[in-house]
């Protein structure tokens, strides 16, 4: 069975500081991996995805993530956080052969200090 762990429930960073959100997954084959952002009252927005190829993936809003198979990780990074990045972030793993349904982590809430 596939699963996702986001070890940090809540992270606070200062505006302009760098950010790394951790994600560990469990999946029996090559996973499809995603990061989504959810602002209050909004649906999930896809930040970036990894299917294959280059293990460093660039996304929207200046985010990037690195797939490390040996560590079963897909951590999200941003070099300089903006106040508007405050939101909840979800990592998800998808199965190619299983209706494309995704398994999500429980999320990390990001607070940005001025």
Partner 1 sequence: GAGVSQSPRYKVAKRGQDVALRCDPISGHVSLFWYQQALGQGPEFLTYFQNEAQLDKSGLPSDRFFAERPEGSVSTLKIQRTQQEDSAVYLCASSLAERTVSYEQYFGPGTRLTVT
- Rule CB under 8 A: say whether 105 interacts with partner 1: yes
**In whole angstroms, how close is the CB of 37 to partner 1 at the nearest point?**
11
**In whole angstroms, how close is the CB of 40 to partner 1 at the nearest point?**
11
CB 88 within 8 A of CB 37: yes
Site string for partner 1, 64-103 (x = CB under 8 A): --------------------------x-x-x-xxxxxxxx
**In whole angstroms, how close is the CB of 47 to partner 1 at the nearest point?**
11
12-71: contacts with partner 1 (CB under 8 A) = 32, 36, 41-46, 49, 51
Closest CA to 51 of 23, 65, 30, 21: 30
Closest CA to 112 of 19, 9, 36: 19
Closest CA to 83 of 20, 8, 22, 19: 19
**In whole angstroms, how close is the CB of 17 to partner 1 at the nearest point?**
25
Q: How far is CA 111 from the centre of its chain?
A: 16
How many C-beta neighbours within 10 Å does residue 108 have? 20
Site residues (vs partner 1, CB under 8 A) = 4, 32, 36, 41-46, 49, 51, 90, 92, 94, 96-107
């Amino acid at each position: 069975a596939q699963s996702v762990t986001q070890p940090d429930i809540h992270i606070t960073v200062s505006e302009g500081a760098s950010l790394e959100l951790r994600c560990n997954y469990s999946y029996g084959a090559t996973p499809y991996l995603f990061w989504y952002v959810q602002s209050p009252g909004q649906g999930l927005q896809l930040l970036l995805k990894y299917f294959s190829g280059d293990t460093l993936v660039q996304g929207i809003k200046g985010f990037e993530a690195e797939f490390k198979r040996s560590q079963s990780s897909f951590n999200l990074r941003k070099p300089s956080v903006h106040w508007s990045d405050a939101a909840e972030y979800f990592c998800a793993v998808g199965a190619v052969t299983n209706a494309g349904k995704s398994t999500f982590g429980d999320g990390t809430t990001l607070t940005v200090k001025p």
